[in-house]
Amino acid sequence: MTSFTLVPLEMDWFFENIDEYLKREEFQEFQEYVGVDYRDALEPEKRHEVVDRICNASSIFYEIRRAKGGAFFPEKVYREDVNFYNKAPKWVPEADELILHRPMCYSLNLRFKTISEMIVPYVLERRFKDREGIIIGNLGCGLGKDLHESVKRYSGQISRVISIDSDGEAIQHGLREMPDQLEGKIKLYEGNFLRGNPEGEKYDLCLLVGVICPLTNESSIYLLSQVRKQMSEKATIAVSSSSFRMHHHDPLCSFNIQLTSGWALNCRTEDDLYAVFSEAGFGHIEILREPSGFNYIGIGTKI
C-alpha cells in the first residue's frame, strides 16, 4: 500500500432527516448567522455556494476547508481564539461562538487535556515505571503542544520528544512558541513521519493524535504497522480515534465538517479500534475514552 484511503463522504444520514434536524435551535441559529438554507445543499449545483457562505462567515470552517482539518483548526479551539492564524473573510463572531460551545469543540478540548494530563502520565507511570532515557515520537504533531506538560513533569524519565508534521507552518508556530525550558527536549521536524525518526533512534513511545480519524480501518492498520517498525522492542503506542457518538450528539458540527472539508470521520466503536491495534501487531491493548465519549484513546504494546 503506497497511499491511504479516506472513509467515503456520507451525508445521507443528514439529508434523509433534514426536516427534523432543521427544527433544532442550533441549526436555525447557525443558518441565520451565516446566511444559508441547508436545503440548498440537497442540490449538488448549489452546494458550493452553501459551503462558501459558511466558510466566509466562520473562521473555524474556513480553516477546516483550507487545510482539510489540519493543525490550526484544533488549535483555534484549544485557545478559544477562532481567528488564531487566519480569519474568515466576512467573519460573523456569533457563528463561531455557537460552534465553540458545541460538543465537538468541547470534546476536542477534553481530548487535549485527557492526552496531556492523563494518558501520557498513565503510560509513563504504568508501562515505563522507573525507566529513564525514553524517546517519544509525537507523529502528526501539529504545533507539538500535546507533550509540553508531560515533558516538564517527567523530565527525568524522558530523554527527548521527536515531533513531526507535514505542515511546515504548524512546525514554525510550534518552534516560536516553545518554552525555553523545553528547548532541546522537544525537537520539531517538518516531514513525513513514516520515513522514521530524523535522529535515527527507535521510539519507546509513539503518540498519534487525530491521525487515523479520517482513514479506513485497512489504511489505519497499515499506517500503524509502519509506525511499529520505528519502535523499540516492547514499546508503547497511544492513538486517538473519533467515536461513533459524533453523529448522534453533534450533528451540526459533524455535517458541517463533511460539507466544508469534503472528508468524513471514521466514527469507530471500541471493538473497531481494538481490532485495528491487534491487526497492526500490538498487544496488551487498552481502549480508554475522554469524558465526553467523542474520542477514544487506544494504548498498545509492540509484540
What would the pLDDT profile of 104-116 be if each residue is shown by its tens digit? 899 888 888 888 8
Say yes or no: 121 and 268 in one domain: yes
Same domain, 42 and 116: no
Q: Position of cell 507523529?
A: 139
Residue 1 has pLDDT above 60, yes or no: no
Whether 111 and 64 share a structural domain: no
3-state SS, residue 81: coil
User: What 8-state DSSP symbol labels residue 296?
Assistant: E
> 68: alpha, beta or left, given left = phi > 0 and alpha = psi -120 to 50?
left
Query: How many Å apart are CA 174 and CA 178, to the nearest integer?
Result: 6
CA distances from 263 to 16, 121, 157 (A): 19, 33, 39
Q: Is 265 helix (H, G, I), strand (E, B) or coil?
A: coil
Q: Are residues 296 and 188 in the same domain?
A: yes
Which residue shows C-alpha cell 510550534? 174
- 194-212 average pLDDT score: 96
Question: In terms of domains, do 47 and 180 share one?
Answer: no
Q: Are residues 83 and 116 in the same domain?
A: no
Q: Does residue 172 share a domain with residue 31?
A: no
Q: Are residues 26 and 114 in the same domain?
A: no
What's the total number of domains in the chain? Answer: 2
Instruction: Choose one of 86, 102, 118: the last residue of a domain.
Output: 102
Residues 219-270 have pLDDT tens digits of 999 999 999 999 999 999 999 999 888 777 899 999 999 999 988 889 899 9
- Under DSSP, the state recorded for 116 is I
- Segment 9-66, tens digit of pLDDT: 889 999 999 999 999 999 999 999 999 999 999 999 999 999 999 999 999 999 999 9
Q: Give the torsion sign (CA, 212, 213, 215, 216).
A: positive
Same domain, 87 and 173: no
The predicted pLDDT at position 136 comes to: 97
**Is residue 225 included in any domain, yes or no?**
yes
Domain span at residue 40 reads 12-102
pLDDT band at residue 2 using 50, 70 and 90 as cut-offs? low
pLDDT at 263: 86
pLDDT over 80 (residue 167) = yes
- Tell which residue, 237, 242, 224, has the closest CA to residue 69: 242
Instruction: Give yes or no: residues 277 and 172 share one domain.
Output: yes
Residue 160 lies in a domain: yes
Residue of 153, 90, 120, 136 lying closest to 299 (CA atoms): 120
b/e map 91-117, b = 16+ CB within 10 Å? bbeebbebbbebbbbbbbbbbbebbbe
Is residue 140 assigned to a domain?
yes
